[in-house]
Chains A and B, each alone.
Chain A
Amino acid sequence: MNKKEVFYKLLKDNEFVFWDGAMGTMLQAKGMEMGGIPEMLNFDKPDWIEEIHYAYVNAGSQIVCANTFGCNRYKMAKTGKSVAEIISAAVGIAKKACGDKALVALDMGPIGQLLEPTGSLTFEEAYDIFKEQVVAAVQAGADIIACETMTDLYELKAAVLAAKENSDLPIITTMTFEQTNRTFTGCSVSAMALTMEGLGVDAIGVNCSLGPKELEPVVAEFSKWTTLPLAVKPNAGLPDPITNKYDLTPEDFADSMANLVKYGVKVAGGCCGTNPDFIRAVVNRLKDMKYSQQKPKLEAAVCSPAKTVIIDQPRIIGERINPTGKKRFKEALKSEDIGYILGQAIEQINAGADILDVNVGLPDIDEKEMMVKVVKALQSVTDLPLQLDSTRPDVLEAALMVYNGKPIVNSVNGEKASMEAILPLVKKYGAAVVGLALDEGGIPKTAEGRFEIAEKILANAEKVGIPKRDVFIDCLTLTASAEQAAVMETVKALHRVKTELGLKTVLGVSNISFGLPNRELVNCNFLQMALTNGLDLPIINPNAALMTGAVRAYKLLANIDENSTEFIAAYSGSNFTASVSSTGAAAAPKSDSNDLPSAIANGLKDEGARITEELLKTKDGMEIVDDLLIPALDKAGAEFESGKIFLPQLIMAASVAQAAFEVLKRHMAQSGGESVSKGKVVLATVKGDIHDIGKNIVKVLLENYGFEVIDLGKDVPPENVLEAAVKHGVKLVGLSALMTTTLGSMEETVKLLHDNNVPCKIVVGGAVLTPEYAEKIGADFYAKDAKETVDIAKKIYS
């Protein structure tokens, strides 16, 4: 019997399985100092550890966590012991204490540093840290892997992937939830359940956080989202800050635990403040109760940590993050202008998208690397779930790996090779998948043919273990102008897939009108036909107000949008104008003035863009930049320096110029005209520093003076700055550091650039920096603010 079978037998043979209680607070009671490293006691006081394990086994615990909660290379760095040594010792002690009475779990807690994007630890590093623990646990002979006290779904995903790819041990995952049903980082119960069940863990639930009484809403929520065994390990109530004592008695604790049984609790234990008396009380209290298995009807759903989108009604997939047919987007991909791509995302979110499709396929770039970068950037600013879109399985796998939550894969099709390559990835990472109704024979002409391919894709998906609810079928839109007769075949196929196979359907809509005049009218009507016939996931441009409006109107008329709440919220008052003006060219002019300098002085962003469009009819781009934009910005800069206006106003002026530049760039990309770039500048917040608002302000100002900024982001290693400076041949590198602790890496970066004789000047800035320090570390310039950085850049590129 392998370890998974042993674990499942344990679950099957017992109404409940009892876990152990706290280790840390038990050790404190024995005399460990506050803030001490519990894992070192595996060496210093092995008898303490063994006594605690033994007491839990005697109290009735059937799973015991080895004393390894913080045993990762980051937290153990200063102990002088390797992770493998500590885990081997800890598992050894636990096995000795448990004998054949209880299973031993590798206890894996959070690493102790926040992951990207808020922290500086990358997902890949986190995976590697957990992998080391898993490998050591397998060698030491652990029976289970327990990932506990997690608050970040991303970190938990790294831990689970590390556990699955490096062992065949059963995995229990529990996160720390507040009464709001969310963790500190905003991860919801539903997102955890969807993601973890998808990744194939063996039990899920909640630990730590609060007492068993306060956790009732959390446990109740779990019962709606999963069919997995539920594990619950609450604290002994809440601690007093002065005495550090918890407020529940073992009997109170056990009573509240008994109350949670009705939600399907299978594995029961305790966390901070509990001791063997608590476990004994729970064992006694539950001994005459029955496990109450929950059988929720699980809907199709996808999620990010903070947002779960249930596909129980039409949901809009935004199609704009895709270079096909978009010169400006291609340009952005080539110059790695992530800011532009994020702008596309934000526009779609504000326009009403529910899910964003992400496609960055372009022949001249490394699609895989770009996909990872864009997925990470998108999930750092939006809660919308993503649809990962590529024709290449390796790109999809890389994206699935770093996606935080449960995404959609776009797409698989009915070809044998496609199903063999894509479906196992979808299963492994627990995603939903779009199945295109085409195969080796191409796109069938008839609805019947497409329906059959849908059936085939479903059968193959189920064969690898993908639940039926996670298969969405795209019956494929053909262009009406070329294949008019095919339109109704698509609609019919969609209807049959929806009603006969019971699958969710997805459809790219805009293609229908290719080559026809008044495309939006055609798109809109086709969308209505598809929705009426059962379309769940229209892939559209949400910025097209009529299209998004058509979906909203359908939901209203189909009695999905109860009391027309969503519809009224979208279209009452000023919101309507907002959604219309976001289509850009269709916006009604707010004034007749073509006074760009005045728009800049007054911070009127939309006006700035509109006027620039107008001006381009009579002037060329460079003329607008040199005669209007730059002088207006110079005026704002001078006013800022003299204290007449303040930084926020200077930035507002700059933002108008940014909007104008965006219009100019788009125009240049289309006309292939000369670039408006005044020169390239590399900007970075140095290694170790994660505060990058200052650097971003500098970036906006530089860009609005026409400089092209290669923004390396925050926490940037010196080597990356060197590489970028050389690759782009820049004349100026700007470095920012906010804290005293990170000035050292600024110095290192400057030194590395000098040592490699890079022919560029270096400007540095940041809160704690002084001109003297800048000089000391060998920087060429110190800039006290963003404006001064622009002055320096102008001087260098003059």
Chain B
Amino acid sequence: MIELTKINRAEAFRYMGLRGEPPENISVLADECESRLVSAANPKFHWIYADIGDISEDTVTLSGHKLVLRGRDISAHLDGCFGTVLLCATLGDGVDKLLRTVQAEDMAKALTADALASAAVEQVCDIAEKEIGERFAGKFTTWRFSPGYGDFPLECQGDFLAAVNAMRIVGVCVTDGGLLTPTKSVTAVIGISEKPVPQKRRGCGTCKIREKCDFRKNGGHCYE
């Protein structure tokens, strides 16, 4: 069981486009949303390890798996790795219900709760990543690369979830449109390497909304 008692509010406020200290009325909303979110969330993650089979310019196969990772960006991401971890993390369906409820109550509250939930699922990924790092002590890991980044297609979510057995173990499914449900869920690929991997920053280079991103317009980015 993962305990999520505090949510990274600074991160959530950044998602909401706030700069500097939040105004008092937003802070009050965040107090309420954070406590409701903590009780509604049923955070979970599950990961599996697979040896990398073949890696070409735009395709990565995994030994014993049907799932094939496609795209130049994921190939580049796993360059030099011998294996990969497939991770699925979620806050659970209770958070979707909470987000629906607060939307019926008050949209400012809903926006706040949504941003807090987005920050929270990243925290769950951080906890998972820590566990993965410990299981592969002595090896080196890449950062988390998710379907939808760059040319790594969202369409692979179904096969990805099947490989992780995510439906059964953490209750995460995908819609026909390739969207994860519960909505506050994440899938990600982490490469495992014998040698230090060049830690490319979580860059805007592969991001789909780089041309219109408000963070970038203001000279920043959406990650810490």
Which residues of A are interface residues toward B (Cβ below 8 A)?
33-36, 110, 112-114, 117-120, 149, 151, 176, 178, 182-186, 208, 241-242, 244, 272, 306, 339, 342-343, 345-346, 380-383, 602-603, 605, 646-649, 651-652, 654-655, 687-691, 693, 696-697, 700, 715, 739-742, 745, 767-768, 770, 784
Contacts and interface: CB of A to CB of B under 8 A. Distances in A.
Contacts of B97: 117-118, 186, 380-381, 383
B209 A741 contact: no
Nearest to A603: B25
A741 B17 contact: no
B179 A768 contact: no
30 contacts: A33-B64, A35-B66, A113-B181, A117-B100, A118-B183, A151-B171, A183-B171, A184-B42, A186-B97, A242-B49, A345-B104, A346-B104, A381-B101, A381-B104, A383-B97, A602-B25, A646-B19, A647-B16, A648-B26, A651-B107, A651-B111, A689-B179, A690-B179, A691-B179, A691-B183, A697-B111, A700-B107, A740-B148, A741-B155, A745-B177
B66 A36 contact: yes
Given A113-B175, A241-B48, A690-B181, A184 B111 contact: no
A345 B42 CA distance: 25
B224 interface: no
Interface in B199-216: 208-209, 211-212
Interface in B176-198: 176-179, 181-183
B50 to A, nearest CB: 8
Contacts of A184: 42, 44, 92-93, 170-171
Interface of B: 16-19, 23, 25-26, 29, 42, 44, 46-50, 64-67, 92-94, 96-97, 99-101, 103-108, 110-112, 114, 135, 148, 154-155, 159, 162-163, 167-168, 170-171, 173-179, 181-183, 208-209, 211-212
A693 B99 contact: yes
Closest 10 CB pairs of A and B: A184-B171, A688-B177, A35-B66, A651-B108, A35-B163, A342-B104, A114-B181, A35-B162, A741-B178, A652-B108
B142 to A, nearest CB: 18
A361 B189 CA distance: 52
Given A34-B65, A118-B96, A700-B107, A688 B175 contact: yes
Given A690-B181, A741-B178, A380 B108 contact: no
A687 B176 CA distance: 10
A149 B169 CA distance: 10
A149 B168 contact: yes
A114 B18 contact: no
B26 A649 contact: yes
A306 B105 CA distance: 20
B94 A689 contact: no
A186 B104 contact: no
B154 A693 contact: no
A696 B26 CA distance: 19
B3 to A, nearest CB: 13
A655 B46 CA distance: 40
B64 to A, nearest CB: 6
Given A114-B175, A343-B104, 6 more contacts: A113-B176, A652-B108, A739-B177, A741-B177, A742-B177, A784-B212
B114 A693 contact: yes
Contact of A696 (B110, B174, B211): B110
A258 to B, nearest CB: 26
Contact of A113 (B49, B93, B114, B173): B173
Nearest to A33: B66
B100 A380 contact: yes
For A652, A655, A700, the residue with the greatest tally of chain B CB atoms inside 10 Å of its CB is A652
B182 A114 contact: yes
A225 to B, nearest CB: 21
A798 to B, nearest CB: 25
A345 B104 CA distance: 10
Contacts of B100: 117, 380-381
B112 A648 contact: yes
Given A184-B42, A648-B29, A119 B18 contact: no
A655 B93 contact: no
A687 B103 CA distance: 20
Given A112-B167, A242-B135, A739 B47 contact: no
A380 B104 CA distance: 10
Nearest to B92: A184
A241 B46 contact: yes
Nearest to A74: B176
Contact of B175 (A119, A208, A241, A700): A119
A183 B44 CA distance: 12
Contacts of B174: 113
B104 A120 contact: no
Given A118-B96, A649-B26, A740-B148, A185 B171 contact: yes
A737 to B, nearest CB: 9
Contact of B111 (A185, A345, A648): A648
A740 B179 CA distance: 10
Nearest to B65: A34
Contacts of B42: 178, 182, 184, 186
Contacts of A272: 168
A33 B50 CA distance: 12
Contacts of B182: 114, 118
A434 B19 CA distance: 56
B181 A34 contact: no
A400 to B, nearest CB: 22
A368 B168 CA distance: 36
A736 B220 CA distance: 26
Nearest to A738: B179
A119 B100 CA distance: 13
B108 A114 contact: no
A321 B163 CA distance: 46
A739 B212 contact: no
Contact of B179 (A381, A651, A739, A770): A739
Contacts of B155: 741
B56 to A, nearest CB: 20
A174 B50 CA distance: 31
Contact of B176 (A36, A339, A688): A688
A376 to B, nearest CB: 12
Contacts of A688: 175-177, 179
A696 B111 CA distance: 10
Contact of B107 (A602, A687, A696, A768): A696
B202 to A, nearest CB: 17
A100 to B, nearest CB: 33
A119 B173 contact: yes
Given A33-B66, A35-B66, A690-B179, A655 B107 contact: yes
B94 A186 contact: yes
Nearest to A697: B107
Contacts of B19: 646
Contacts of B110: 693, 696
Contacts of B209: 767-768
A184 B92 CA distance: 7
For B44, B107, B148, the residue with the greatest tally of chain A CB atoms inside 10 Å of its CB is B107
Given A346-B104, A649-B26, A34 B49 contact: no
A271 to B, nearest CB: 9
A478 B206 CA distance: 70
Contacts of B48: 34, 241-242, 244
A187 to B, nearest CB: 10
A183 B110 CA distance: 25
A649 B23 contact: yes
A136 to B, nearest CB: 22
For A119, A186, A649, the residue with the greatest tally of chain B CB atoms inside 10 Å of its CB is A119
A652 B106 CA distance: 8
A26 to B, nearest CB: 15
Contacts of B64: 33-34
A244 B164 CA distance: 11
Given A119-B173, A186-B93, A696-B107, A740 B208 contact: yes
A184 B168 CA distance: 10
